[in-house]
Structure 1
Amino acid sequence: MKKILTVIALSLTSFVALSHSLTVGENLPQVTITDKGYVDLVEGDFEYRQWTSAELQNKVILIQHIAGRTSAKELNDPMIDAVIAADFPFEKYNTATLVNLDESIWGTGAIVASQVKSNKEEFPDAIFVLDSEGDMRKTWALTEKSSAIILLDQAGKILYVKDGEMNPTEIDTVIGIINANI
Structure 2
Amino acid sequence: MKKLSSLAVISALFFVNSAMAHNIQLNATLPPVTVAEDGELVAQGQKINYKAWSSASLSGKVRVVHHLAGRSSVKEKNQGLINAIKSAGFDRAKYQTTTIINADDAIVATGAFVKSSAEDGKLENSHSQVILDQNSTVKKAWQLKEKESFIAVLDKSGKVQFVSEGKLSPDQIQQVIDLTKKLLAQ
TM-score (norm 1): 0.92
**Partner of residue 64 from structure 1, selected from 66, 71, 84:** 66
8 Å CA contact 1:17, 1:163 repeated in 2:
no
Within 5 Å, which residues of 2 pair with 1:64-103?
64-103=66-105
Compared CA separation, residues 165 and 63, structure 1 to 2 (3 A):
same
Q: Which residue of 2 aligns with 1:159?
A: 161
Count of aligned positions: 181
Match of 2:122 among 105, 120, 133: 120
Instruction: Find runs of 4+ consecutive structure 1 residues off by over 4 angstroms.
Output: 7-14
Q: Which runs of 5+ in 2 are unaligned?
A: 1-5
* Residues 129-159 of structure 1 deviation map (CA, whole Å, 9 limit, x = unaligned): 0000000000001110110001111111101
TM (norm. structure 2) is 0.90
What corresponds to 2:113 in structure 1?
111
Residues 77-109 of structure 1 show CA distances to partners (whole Å, capped at 9, x for unaligned) of 111111111111101111011000101111111
Paired residue secondary structure (1:107): coil
**Residues 6-64 of structure 1: CA deviation (Å, up to 9, x unaligned):** x8898567525521100111111110001100001113211011110111111101011
Alignment partners' CA distance in 2, 1:92 and 1:58? 8
Deviation track 1:104-132 (CA, whole Å, cap 9, x = no partner) reads 11111110111111111111010000000
Name which of 130, 133, 152 aligns with 2:132. Answer: 130
Q: 1:175 — aligned with what?
A: 177
CA distance in 2, matches of 1:78, 1:12: 31
1:21 aligns to 2:19 (yes or no): no
Aligned to 2:76, the other structure's residue is in SS state helix
Partner of 1:38: 40
